[in-house]
Amino acid sequence: MFSTTITGTVHGVQAYLVRVEADVSGGLPAFLMVGSLSLETREARERVMVSLKNKGIQIPPRHITVNLSPGDRRKDGTAFDLGIAVAILKATEMIPSLEHENTLFLGELGLGGEIRPAKGVLPIVQEAVRQGIKECIVPMDNAKEAAVIPGIDVRGARDITQVIDYLSAGKGKGEKILPLIQQAMPAMDSLKGTKDITDFSEIAGQEMAKRAAEIAAAGFHNLLMVGPPGVGKSMIAGCLAGILPPLTREESLEVTSIKSIAGQMEAGETLCVQRPFVSPHHSISLSALVGGGTIPKPGRISLAHRGVLFLDELPEFDRNVLDALRQPLEERKIHISRVGGNVAFPSDFIFVGAMNPCPCGYYPDRNRCHCSEPEVARYMRKVSGPILDRIDLCVELQPVAMGYLGKDNQRETSEIIRKRVERAREIQFRRFRNTSFQFNGDIPGPKVEEYCDLGIRELKCMEELYGNLQLSVRSYHRILRVARTIADMDEKERIGVEHLMEAAMYRPSLEYWK
């Protein structure tokens, strides 16, 4: 007998549905699986048969053929197990074959019959809704994650017998076996994160660096901080996530989908409500940072999507790792090519880098720094010119004077700064309402002149800056984008000379990069 079920998988960050076709016939007993399968997907044969046996369900010795369609797309992962098991049970007439035809099945089977969590449940369920699927059965640990998608009935199962009993009971009779998971997607303004974030009021001094961080947050600009150890570079980077505008509903779904595909959702977790803050160690490999593998998976830069990617001790990262950031910093996505095809992962993040000015960390203080000039130059050259050219804001931090350390010093809190950032964000929202971008930092090169219109005085100012600072076209555009953000923070409709001069002040220092 022949039967089908519906399951799904992801390729890159794109989900697509897979039809499981099972045929059970006479002949020599066998279990064949076809459909461009990876090794772990092909191993579903053993997982499915043993899990059913251990639950007391004996499949008669028959010739079983399972096809995962479409056959020309590679299938990766273990989430097909539940769909395969249900298809075989239908084909052997152990459960009704016409019930729940419009149901999505996702989940890995353990040998004891338990249904284990799967990766990428959120984007797969989204795709199922787009294609008209009305019901899905997923692992209980993924049920709340799936239930935030409206327009589909979500049921969570802990083992295969629950699913069999539910399907055998008939429509409307199995509600007590697998009740609906009620988890409507809440309004984003009602969601509050619980992750502890350092407050800007805890940072003494470093007003220029704080100002640069506020500009970076307001316009989604990249930031580089240079200074000796212990001056607050890492603390400022950690505070940045706390002053970013809250995630929108669409951004929350994007961030959660990537995290789900990467298999980093915690049990019972529903939506990511805080902007990501990702800080990999400098020993990270190229594929771990940008994504990759035989079957490409998202890397750390994609997990930082819509948030902050912080690279501390920037020159300590491998040169090829840093240079791989060129494309995502410019295009806001990373393309990975493999034999099986090309994959594009999103990587729209604020890049924040921190570094010492020399190997010992104290240049140009010659009372403490004993590095030679060639050593300093060699150390600074580890951060290449093309990477520097993609950084909007560069600030130097100096040791904090003791007078700033007193408790009586009144410092702005992150909440006050965040309100200013949100006001600037509202201005950008209105400006870019009918475009494909959201922040000033997203404005593509051809559109810079349109959104950063300059008067006669401002044009003359930029002509002088262009010649004196020996700017590239990319650097010229970045100064205009930063100036646009500073003007928005001042709630000015037009960019002024003062905004251009402040934006130019944040270019990398010639003291370090000669």
Nearest to 118 by CA among 140, 151, 88: 140
Evaluate if residue 190 carries a pLDDT over 70: no
Element (H, E) at 327: helix 326-331
**What radius of gyration do the chain's Cα atoms show?**
27
Report, as an integer, the average pLDDT of 394-409: 76
What backbone torsions phi and psi does residue 11 show, to the nearest 5 degrees? -125, 110
Fold category of 200-505 in CATH:
Rossmann fold (3.40.50)
CB 95 within 8 A of CB 86: yes
Res. 195 pLDDT band, cuts 50 70 90: low
- Do 200-505 and 2-169 fall under one CATH topology? no
pLDDT digits (tens, 9 = 90+) for 215-226: 999 999 999 999
Instruction: Determine the Cα–Cα distance for residues 51 and 113; give it in Å rounded to an integer.
Output: 4
Please give the pLDDT value at position 194.
42
What per-residue confidence (pLDDT) applies to 510? 59
What residue ranges do the domains of the chain occupy? 2-169, 200-505
Is pLDDT above 80 for 406? no
Is pLDDT above 60 for 184? no
Q: What is the 3-state secondary structure (H, E, C) of 224-254?
A: EEECCCCCCHHHHHHHHHHHCCCCCHHHHHH
Residue 189, pLDDT score: 47
Lowest mean pLDDT among 67-71, 111-115, 289-293: 289-293
How large is the average pLDDT for residues 497-506? 95
Amino acid occupying residue 186 = P
| 137 touches 174 (CB < 8 A) | no
CATH topology for 2-169 is Ribosomal Protein S5; domain 2 (3.30.230)
Please give the model's pTM, rounded to 2 decimal places.
Answer: 0.87
| Residue matched to tokens 């994650």 | 145
Task: Name the pLDDT band for 119 (thresholds 50, 70, 90).
Answer: very high
pLDDT digits (tens, 9 = 90+) for 235-252: 999 999 889 988 888 889
pLDDT (tens digit, 9 = 90+) per residue, 126-174? 999 999 999 999 999 999 999 999 999 999 999 999 999 999 987 677 7
8: pLDDT strictly greater than 70? yes
What's the confidence (pLDDT) of residue 153? Answer: 94
In this model, does residue 373 exceed pLDDT 50? Answer: yes
Mean pLDDT, the chain, integer: 89
Question: pLDDT category, 188, cuts 50, 70, 90?
Answer: very low
Whether 336 has a pLDDT exceeding 90, the answer reads no
Mean pLDDT, rounded, for 276-302:
90
In this prediction, residue 68 carries a pLDDT of 97
Q: Of 183, 192, 105, which is closest to residue 146 (Cα–Cα)?
A: 183
**273 contact partners, CB below 8 Å, separation of at least 6:** 188, 191, 192, 193, 246, 247, 252
- Answer yes or no: is pLDDT of 103 > 90: yes
pLDDT for res 109? 97
